A and B are shown apart, each in its own frame.
Chain A
Amino acid sequence: MKTNIKFIQGNEVFAKAALYAGVQFYAGYPITPSTEIAEILSEVLPKRGGKFIQMEDEIASICAIIGASLTGLKAMTATSGPGFSLMQEAIGYAVMTEVPLVVVNVQRGGPSTGMPTSVAQGDVMQARWGTQGDHSIITLTASNLREAFNMTVEAFNLAETFRTPVILLFDEVLAHMREKIIIPGPGEIEVVKRLRTSVPKGTNYHPYLTREDGRLPMSDFGGVHRYNVTGLVHDMWGFPSTDPKVAYDLLHHLVDKLENHAELLARYKKYYTEDAEILLVSYGSSTRSALHMIEARRKRGLKIGLLELQTLWPFPRQTVRRECDGRSHVLVVEMNMGQICQEVKKAVSEPDKVFLANRIDGIFISPVDILRALNMIQGKGV
């Protein structure tokens, strides 16, 4: 029997997972440390009848996948910080026009070109607020390659379910590390198909009329329903409108469709939390050091646990509050200057008990770094 056990690189896992989820179209522009995703898909997609195109920049890349998604294809791109910055305009367009797509951002040191081959988690807020105007967005991450596989499939599923761009916020360590992974067989993980309208030809189809269950069935460009897509405030037919009620309702719809489901969208993992007096909160590759440190301390009798966030946006406020309240200390472990730490502080009852253990110098945060921070907040010195 053919074994599906692989020892492969993170970027290859993201690409394999995207294929598992049914990606049919990729457009991208080379950038470290995400480039391998494009290289792999450029080879595999045409073999499967899918499409790959290397565009002139990241702006064009995301525009192309929006166009392709509207023709009915599952579409994605991958990039890193500088390219992610260029994509923000069109991410806003995809939010506004409710086009499903997946953007992988393999984070590296920033701002600007920063540290191209070093790890960082500095794009958390950019994923949330990089494009202008009130909106909501889904952002997922993972700390190991098995989970990265699952989250990538999940990203495509959620993009289709909620008709929204989904950001996969990975990082350089995860993308370039190798790990043993068992590639799931067909059917092992659910793959959500695009919901298409059942409205027959000749009957009015409203591309932006929400169904009772909150969903918006799509119709492919080239199909029997002709409609308009615009980044302007639009009515249920997709035509521009300056009616204040239309604007109000649309903005609420765009935000509420995700924020009202924040807990449903919350993906997280708990380690040793049951009796934990001290709780670490982490996400992405920094979770690995947090878990390592916890397991070492547990052996010495320290009651310490970990909450790993896999959904970063919409922020799982209730989950974080529930898990953090009542602990003596909460220590947020991340590789930026406190982007998620601030969110945790906003979510909990006692924000004064929330502290930050971080690194921002391009060096992967180590268990010792976290232990030092823990000692400091407990008054034990460094």
Chain B
Amino acid sequence: MAVKDYLRQRFFPQIWCAGCGHGIVMGGMIRAIEQLGLDKNEVVLVSGIGCSSRVAGYLDFHTMHTLHGRALAFASGVKLGRPHLKVIAPMGDGDALAIGGNHLIHAARRNIDVTAIIMNNSIYGMTGGQTSPLTPFTKRGTTAVFGTIDHCFDIAQLAKGAGASFVARTTTYHAKEMIKMIHDAINHKGFSLVEVMSQCPTYYGRKNDLGAAVDMMKGFRDGTVRKGSKKLEEHPEFVERGVLVNEARPEYVSSYMDLIEKLRGERENLEQGAASR
């Protein structure tokens, strides 16, 4: 199928600002799902609130646009409810790491088979450019006009520490790499997280004199290195890209289905959920 066949085309052109990286991430998600050959009816997108959350409404899957930060909690209910579904949660950095931080670490800890795609643009875009937990130290936002004295999270390290069994990081510049990572994340059995560094030229770029979308993407190109690169020794300020965690660990829903099987003495066709359709 063509990329367009996955879109709810009547809502296009989309709402995002010119040059916003979120559209590139959405494109990456579509291509990854297309490559996996998933049936549209097998895919559920659960988003939270913010610019990133709009992805859900644009794509022709089962889609939920939920509450700020709560996407992974809703997604956990969907996944445990119907284990055969592929559940993907497109989220923003404020969405996933501030208000949704608790749900993120616990989804990771449980190792529930949900894929979190975090579009990290280091700012709250929808509300007009306030600093987020991913705004780097000294960078500016409308709530930190003198530069933030908050320190930011390292999403990958946080997810790893919390127990995520697949963690990857890339940028909107590295579009091919991103598609592969999202593809592998969805395929991974367990909690998977892909952080995509995404540009917000309208707020983050403007507040921090980073130029237009193109300049910000050049920044991703020049400021990141592949995992294990020797450049990292000379330039520790460079951000590492790549699959940073990829482990096989017992997955929550599978463990639960094993428990049911053990208690009932048979593996029922519960993959379709207990309800008749």
> Which residues of chain A have a CB within 8 Å of any CB of chain B?
24-25, 27, 46-47, 49-51, 53, 55-57, 59-61, 63-73, 75, 89-90, 93, 194, 196, 220-224, 226-232, 239-240
Contacts and interface: CB of A to CB of B under 8 A. Distances in A.
Interface string B54-79: 00110011111111001001111111
Given A64-B76, A221-B85, A226 B270 contact: no
**Most chain A C-beta atoms within 10 Å of own C-beta, residue among B62, B84, B272:** B62
Contact of B268 (A49, A75, A229): A49
Contacts of A27: 77
Given A63-B74, A64-B73, A66-B74, A73 B273 contact: yes
Contacts of A90: 67, 70
B106 interface: yes
The 8 closest A-B pairs by CB, nearest first: A67-B77, A64-B77, A71-B81, A63-B73, A68-B81, A60-B73, A72-B275, A230-B65
A229 B40 contact: no
Contacts of A70: 64, 78, 81
20 contacts: A25-B81, A27-B77, A49-B270, A53-B77, A63-B66, A63-B74, A63-B77, A64-B74, A71-B81, A71-B82, A72-B275, A73-B274, A75-B81, A220-B82, A221-B81, A222-B42, A222-B273, A223-B41, A226-B40, A230-B57
B142 interface: no
Interface stretch (B196-204, B226-234, B243-251, B259-267): B259-267
B73 A228 contact: no
Contact of A93 (B66, B77, B256): B66
Given A25-B77, A46-B263, A221-B85, A226 B62 contact: yes
B42 to A, nearest CB: 7
Interface of B: 8, 11, 40-42, 44, 46, 56-57, 60-67, 70, 73-82, 84-85, 102-103, 106, 256, 259-260, 263-264, 268, 270, 272-275, 277
Given A25-B77, A55-B73, A222 B103 contact: no
Q: Which of A27, A59, A89 has the most CB of B within 10 A?
A: A59
B277 A226 contact: no
A239 B277 CA distance: 24
Given A49-B270, A72-B273, A226-B40, A67 B81 contact: yes
